[in-house]
Chain A
Amino acid sequence: MNKEDQDLVAWHLHLKGKVQGVGFRPFVYRIAKEKNLKGWVSNNTDGVHIYVEGRREDLKAFYHFVLTHYPPIALVTESSCWEEPLQGYNDFFIKESIKEGSSSVLLLPDLDICENCIQELHSPTDRRYGYPFITCTQCGPRYSIIFALPFDRQRTSMEPFKMCKDCQKEYEDPTDRRFFSQTNSCKECGIELFLRDNQKHLLSCGDRAIRDGAEAILKGEVVAVKGIGGFLLIADAGNEQTLRKLREKKKRSHKPFALMFTDIQSVKEEVEIGEEEQNLLIARTKPIVILDRKKKNDSFVNPLVAPGQDTLGVMLAYSPLHILLLEQVRKPVVATSANISGSPILTIDEEIFGFLGHLVDKVLTHNRQIVVPQDDSVLVLTPFYKQPIFLRRSRSYAPFFSLGNLSLDKDVSLLAMGADQKGCLTICHEGNIYVSQYLGSLENFETEENYKKQLNYYFGLFNLNPDSIAVDLHPGYRSTEIGLSLGKERKIPSYYVQHHKAHFWAVLGENNLIDDPGPILGIIWDGTGFGEDGAIWGGEFFLYHEGKINRLRHFKYYPLLLGDKAIKEPRIAALGILWEMGKEYFLREKFSSPDWHTYLKLLNQRRYFLCSSVGRLFDCVCSMIGSYDHSTFEGQAAIEVQKLATRYAKSFGTLDRLPWKKFDFIKKRLNTQPQISLNSFFDWFIEAIRNHWPKEQLAFCFHYWLCLIILEVVHSFQIKKIALSGGVFQNGLLVDLLRFFCEGTLDLYSHQQLSPNDENISLGQLMALANEKKILRSKEKR
């Protein structure tokens, strides 16, 4: 060993990513102690800093170990290391966080309860036995309780709770699981639980509150339970009377309710679960997963939970409070966001009493503030390939977004306002991207207020000062208006991004395709978006090449009457489409006489919008086959058509067993030039309905036709890479069919971290803007 190796040196390590509030410092502390190194570890607003002294060889080993063995819930996205002058410390310690400097640490999503904590929760000898707010460095709330960065107790809503002696001891003990746990608390010093009736009267506290709450649920009452991201309304999933009351008073006639279970075994009794489904259900993010309902007569779950659906939305209890409560109820419960129809999830007791007093019987609440409201996230798996698709990205995912191979200039800050139907904000700050949780539909005023609140929150949290603001082209969007007036107020330039181009940018960004030599075909299908020519777009084929997007093809414009009303009544989309073909009489019986004559007059006077939306084609099909003419919730018609087609496809077990020959005739009914024409297919469709083809087959043919159109366009342009985005691609059957036909020959890209629906618009806007400003690059190329 030469002399140099024995000499002590000092290194400074800087780690970025999901490194705060995940037990990173205790981990570093333990390793340093084990290896007998000196120095310190500290959280800064730009990540974790480690100053460590030792022999060069040991430091190397230490650095490598830290990067390869950090806690499983952490994620290091960048690391750097440099030598510094030796200070000569005689111990290793954890330094207080430094608040100065830039705040480029990632905001961590909320975590479910970890295995160790579950064990303690259930162990009668443990001092946290039955404590509904048990946490450790590896679990518990994060994003939902943070006021400011970095993640330290005094900057969260844990601040009012002063740790007792025992908790403080754990917090200071480097060998303890709760060493430096910012959410540490216990029955002695922690959060208190209360049960109140809907007149605000206190009924019981602590353990009693859980017991009484459970009893109320069993009696058929609706209990509002304050959880991680907001209140959930919890009720007995088998009690028809309760469910009827809930539906009536929540003004929610058909939209399915989610269910919460305590364990995977009881889930298996109600829904079909394979390995992929199970993995998703038990993941640390604990989303609601839409699963196929078991066909059985003795189901515990009342049909009113999901009227007319073949599926159930299921999640496992994810917080200790939910676990304790459900263990007392001893059966699955309905657990739905507590809100007034269309408004954001409620987080404050007073709001529950004020707005939901008429439908809530008891309120199980606690005294820790929810800072960032979030709904439960919702995912579905495609029926055959089991690819997960986000339907709503919120609790436990937001606002984290991994850029993968992309990197952004650190000194540029951008803000993107998203769309109106699925409000969502994206910001780029210090080289990181944050995509907010789902913020709801801005046509509701309370939702708009919540959206603005979230915007202000980000401004405060990151001390944001954006260089540009990206907005949708739609002149009537609230999000556009709010973005523009913010820009005016603060003298920030704004930048318009067309809705469907934003969808395309989003899927390109998520798949690291911005730098791809291309060409890439973007198939962007959704409900409605404002097009560059003033028409309503929604069935678009774009070409991406060298940073530019061009519109190649679209569904031939068809008439769409009455704007927003058309979206609520599938029969109106159908009328426009069949009228153009001269076949409107097929729909005559769906309309009253005044409706019929009024609409025909409007059509004849050409008083309609031009529209290329595929979402409205689903409406049209839904109405034509006789399923729904009026929707009671957004997407109902598309879900119905997909359900019927999936039933048909699934009846063969696997896709290769389908009688494809039988549907060969559809190949002759494609007409994609110069634009994609509907006539040939819908001509046949009308005939098939008249010939009493089963609904399931009709719906399947429609899906197949859509696939064939895509394949035909792909072939005519000789493109090898296809990217899918837009709300239509929440349809798992369509995604699977495409994959079935493309596998081996074409590269198919879709969303992984975000939903294909309008929740991805803000990311897409931001990508478009970043591309315009040339601040995006692939990491290898730097």
Chain B
Amino acid sequence: MTDFSRLGVAAIRDGVANGEFKAVEVAEALNTRVAAAKALNAFIVETPEMAVAAAQAVDADRAAGKPLGKMAGVPIGMKDLFCTEGVQTTAASHMLEGFVPTYESTVSANLWKAGAGMLGKLNLDQFAMGSSNETSYFGNVISPWRRNDGGNAALAPGGSSGGSSSAIAARLCPAATGTDTGGSIRQPAAFVGISGIKPTYGRCSRWGIVAFASSLDQAGPMARDVRDCAIMLEAMAGFDPKDPTSLDLPVPAWEAGLNSDLKGKRIGIPREYRLDGIDEDIAKMWDNGIAWLKDAGAEIVDISLPHTKYALPAYYIIAPAEASSNLARFDGVRFGLRDLPEGAGLQDMYAATRAAGFGEEVRRRIMIGTYVLSAGFYDAYYTQAQKVRALIARDFENAWASCDLILAPTTPSAAFGLGEKNADPLSMYLNDVFAVPASLAGLPAMSVPGGLDKQGLPLGLQIIGKALDEQAVLNAGLAIEERSGFTAEAGEWW
């Protein structure tokens, strides 16, 4: 009997289409795996009946000879930042506990239209703010990976899409949605040895995704290989008139365009990413990546992105500034938590509701954002950060004169243990140092597995492309995937 947990998106889609197995069999097998993996805490809500219902619809369509969608019969996990009609949507916050939207986000609706089914809503860092999943109100997700030191230290699955990364690595689902504001798809993908792509800003509609930082938020797929990412991105992307920043462009046939022959492509290696004291394993993996791409026919060039060191500070001004305003709507008036102490007035209600509803990291970022937008500080922080953002975008523009893609590590280190970094927010923020520049510039960027470190933990290689050139990014990812021989998996300890 087929072990459906070992099949990816393409394999399930093709198997269902060819009649090798029924979509319902896949859904039921994965429902069982989800239900048995509570120890990972990857799901906030499980929706086995929805996975089955979607699968039944696909099976019925196939039986009736109707054309099947791009994701027909593929059960997936949905990051709990996407509003789903009739299913609790929390952003992993107490603030939205019990909130059941009457509407479906554009991206999730696109996936259902393509024939995917929902296994459940995946845990994440609260309001997508975090790099370890430790800020979730519903408890942190645990990575299925363990260090090879024989210890049982629980490791971070990365964040904010940590439920997504953990569930895919643990083979609870072949793919899941993620959102990336400053690395929230790429960093968790790197931490658990899977692939994930953040497309060009505007490719995927933001409508119905609980907003963190509007000018940076972008949805994307996470899966176990590059092809699966390409398939799922095709299903997710597309112009949406309900999102004013949505790009009015046709969705390319990325899967059909996959080609790992990189002849004629120039790969830029940014010297500023080679930080002093760079992790030895990371440096080695990066060198391997360079060798693989060369082997695939690409030319390697040295490039400079001179403003890289200002990216992280700029990001931690812009993202909190937008968040402080985006999260103002959680006020206890119309939906979500309301804390109305006896005899309280409106202001008291705001204070009590927001103090009780938001976790510490969310409150910290609201405070930072409020501060940097305040009269007297606005120019010194926000305006300055926007200038830096423009310079970072220009760095990339200049780089494209001499290269077509950029290769860098996804993160400065492998996954850390839960609790190791949360005492010091700054060291946590440093995790995003390689991910943030592409976010600020709105460029497509992908993480693919690059190898294991000395502790036996996965590391990710990041490919950054020109705006709208997801195809080149996916192709380089495929070239790496074909050469890295990355087959490592987490042991099934749960």
Note whether A and B form a binding pair: no
